[in-house]
């Protein structure tokens, strides 16, 4: 949703995702409101039979405020992936942290992309 991320997201999507192969959902706070995110995932499964979800949180997110440090984003992305995999075990889930300079960092960790 943040205007500072749009150019980076557009270039990344154009480069790494075939046209007309995805639904793009912009949510203030990324996975901060996980219940809302899960509702959107469920809807995309029902409407478009998706098999993959790519979650992106970004640096300096206003929805997180002062609590939005790197470790908090990593923890929230890990929890989002864990819960989505429990609810939708056949779904591939990828998580990224977007640095405002345009670097997409694929998240690593116990419940993230190893």
- Written as six digits, the tokens of 45 are 């499964």
Model confidence over 47-98: pLDDT tens digits?
999 999 999 999 999 999 999 999 999 999 999 999 999 999 999 999 999 9
Q: Based on the number of CB atoms within 10 Å of its own CB, is 16 exposed (0-12), middle (13-18) or buried (19 or more)?
A: exposed
Which domains does the chain show, CATH number per domain? Answer: 3-106 (3.40.1050.10)
Model confidence over 1-36: pLDDT tens digits?
899 999 999 999 999 999 888 889 999 999 999 999
> What pLDDT is recorded for position 110?
65
Model confidence over 57-70: pLDDT tens digits?
999 999 999 999 99
> What pLDDT is recorded for position 74?
97
3-state secondary structure of 98: strand
Q: Look at residue 114 and tell me whether its pLDDT is greater than 90.
A: no
How would you write 71-90 as a 3-class SS string? HHHHHHHHHHHHHHHHHCCC
């Amino acid at each position: 949703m943040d205007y500072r991320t749009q150019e980076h997201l557009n270039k990344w999507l154009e480069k790494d995702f075939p046209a007309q192969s995805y639904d793009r959902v912009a949510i203030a706070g990324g996975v901060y409101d996980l219940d809302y995110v899960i509702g959107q995932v469920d809807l995309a499964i029902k409407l478009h039979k998706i098999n993959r979800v790519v979650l992106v949180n970004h640096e300096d997110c206003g929805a997180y405020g002062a609590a939005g440090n790197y470790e908090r984003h990593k923890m929230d992305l890990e929890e989002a992936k864990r819960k989505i995999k429990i609810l939708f075990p056949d779904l591939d889930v990828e998580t990224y942290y977007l640095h405002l300079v345009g670097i997409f960092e694929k998240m690593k960790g116990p419940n993230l992309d190893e």
